[in-house]
Amino acid sequence: MTINMALIGAGGMGKRHANGYLELKKYFSDLNIVAVCDIHESVAGSVADYIYNTEGKRPDVITDIEKIYSLKNLDAVDIATSTPMHHVIAIDAMQNGLHVITEKPIAITIKAANKMKNISVSTKKVLSVAENYRRDPINRLTKALIDSKILGDIYFTLDLNLSSSNKSVMHSTVWRSKKYQAGGNVLDAGVHNADMLLYLLGKVETIFAQVSIFEKERILRKMEDVAPVLSDMYSHRKENNKEGDKIVQDAIDSAFGVLRFNSGVIGQISFSDTSHGQNLGVSTITGSEGTLYRSSSRSGKSPRIVFSDGKEMTGDKLFELVPSFSLDDDTSKIWDGVDKLSNYSKEFHLIDAKILAFQYLDFYRSIINNKKPEVGFNEGIEALGLAYGLIESGLKGKLIKLDDVISGKEDIYQREINEKYLA
């Protein structure tokens, strides 16, 4: 069964999605991008040409999103627009009979995400979230190691993500600095880490955090200087600002929190892009029998376990601890047929493409088999709720429940955003 899809939003993330699609086409032919839509014709055309140069077929270029819904034989849309548009486009698409995969975070606020969930349920259309960290084969191994109980009873986890922006705009994308555009490190990067913690350790009960905007003025610098690995994927996009502009940072840029999971595990989680000097990333899970040191997602580096007696295991030796572990068939196919991986060495865009390819394939399977995607609306809402929960707790100055964030009870930070987009 063939699924025809339209890519909506052809900026930096849109081109990365196209790259994932082209990687998928090396292994699987039944998903097609038949149209690329963006308000800027040149941006949509650039991505359509990118697909044509590899696939030999050029998708339709569309600038008016309403024309998407009149396309014949269209089954789904892939949303890679700015975050405030996720819920608007997703709801319209599902009400027009289309399945949806959307870039993370699932929506601009929890309220918007819950509206998307309700429409997905009522229309019976798949709503999938392109959350990529958990799809890394190394993180599949990490999950298997934790589930094997080799660490004993889990005590606590540390997840520290401190990066240095040198007062520049994160990744030279102005929207990341803006509250009303779902910006800031805590939401943009934090939702990734939130999803990983939920994936590895289960549901979170409570959150207590402190937050701040440490650097209220940023400078827009060239992406080649601040995020060179991404620059070629983003060079075609349109920006209203230019190099050297001073940008007001009005989104929370730093959060330091303590979590209690439903299981009793304690978590410490920190995000900031104001750490001058070396970047610091630390991610560990400690149990009664040892500590697992997680590798950075998409780094290709193996996790490492140090046991209570000092014995250390890493790389392929880890398979001895989980002899039944293997990658699922789809992941194995996309990663060149291997049945398990403890490490790999590939350039970033290929890693990114393979993970996105798996997301597309999971989306396809969900549609044709009428099943929930691995990361659906519930997973998307929980990850967004945890990221927002840090901010809500920090602004309120008290411990809050994640369930209260998800229900909309805790919404100090989100209230004005909701008034702007969901009045």
Q: Which amino acid is at 83?
A: T
Rounded to whole angstroms, how far apart are CA atoms 178 and 11? 18
Rounded to whole angstroms, how far apart are CA atoms 7 and 79? 6
Would you give the distance in Å from CA 235 to the centre of its chain? 21
Tens of pLDDT, residue by residue over 288-301, are 999 999 999 999 99
CB-based contacts of 240, cutoff 8 Å, min separation 6: 174
Determine the average pLDDT of the residues in 298-323: 97
Which residues of the chain does CATH 3.40.50.720 include? Answer: 3-132+356-375
Rounded to whole angstroms, how far apart are CA atoms 221 and 246? 10
278 compared with 39, residue with greater pLDDT = 39
pLDDT at 239 over 80: no
pLDDT the model gives residue 241: 80
What does the angle CA 22 – CA 23 – CA 28 come to, to the nearest 5 degrees?
90
pLDDT at 104 over 90: yes
Of 277-281, 292-296, 324-328, give the lowest mean pLDDT range. 277-281
Which residues of the chain does CATH 3.30.360.10 include? Answer: 134-343
Rounded to whole angstroms, how far apart are CA atoms 286 and 307? 10
For residue 222, what pLDDT band results from cuts at 50, 70 and 90? confident
Bridge partners (DSSP) of residue 158 are 268, 284
Structural contact between residues 253 and 184, judged by C-beta atoms closer than 8 angstroms: yes
Structure tokens at 62: 């569309």
Determine the average pLDDT of the residues in 271-294: 94
pLDDT the model gives residue 408: 94
Structural contact between residues 259 and 251, judged by C-beta atoms closer than 8 angstroms: no
CB-based contacts of 336, cutoff 8 Å, min separation 6: none
pLDDT the model gives residue 278: 82
pLDDT at 240 over 80: no
Tell me which fold the domain 134-343 belongs to.
Dihydrodipicolinate Reductase; domain 2 (3.30.360)
CATH 3.40.50.720 at 3-132+356-375, yes or no = yes
> Which residue, 120, 237, 107, is CA-closest to 171?
237
Structure tokens at 249: 């940072």
Tens of pLDDT, residue by residue over 170-200, are 878 888 899 998 767 888 889 999 999 999 9
Rounded to whole angstroms, how far apart are CA atoms 122 and 246? 45
Tens of pLDDT, residue by residue over 9-25, are 999 899 999 999 999 99
For residue 237, what pLDDT band results from cuts at 50, 70 and 90? confident
Structural contact between residues 296 and 281, judged by C-beta atoms closer than 8 angstroms: yes
For the full predicted model, state whether its pTM sits above 0.75: yes
Mean pLDDT over all residues of the chain? 95
For residue 332, what pLDDT band results from cuts at 50, 70 and 90? very high
pLDDT the model gives residue 230: 82
Structural contact between residues 150 and 143, judged by C-beta atoms closer than 8 angstroms: no
pLDDT the model gives residue 189: 86
pLDDT the model gives residue 370: 95
Tens of pLDDT, residue by residue over 143-164, are 999 999 999 999 999 999 998 8
Q: Taking the CB of residue 393, how many other CB atoms lie within 10 A of it?
A: 26
Rounded to whole angstroms, how far apart are CA atoms 184 and 245? 18
- Per cent of the chain over pLDDT 70 is 100
For residue 229, what pLDDT band results from cuts at 50, 70 and 90? confident
Tens of pLDDT, residue by residue over 23-74, are 999 999 999 999 999 999 999 999 999 999 999 999 999 999 999 999 999 9
Rounded to whole angstroms, how far apart are CA atoms 206 and 402? 6
pLDDT at 208 over 80: yes
pLDDT at 225 over 90: no
DSSP assignments along 248-317, one per residue:
E--S--EEEEEEEETTS-EEEEEEESB--SS-EEEEEEEETTEEEEPPPTTS-PPPEEEETTS-EEEGGG
Q: Taking the CB of residue 96, how many other CB atoms lie within 10 A of it?
A: 15
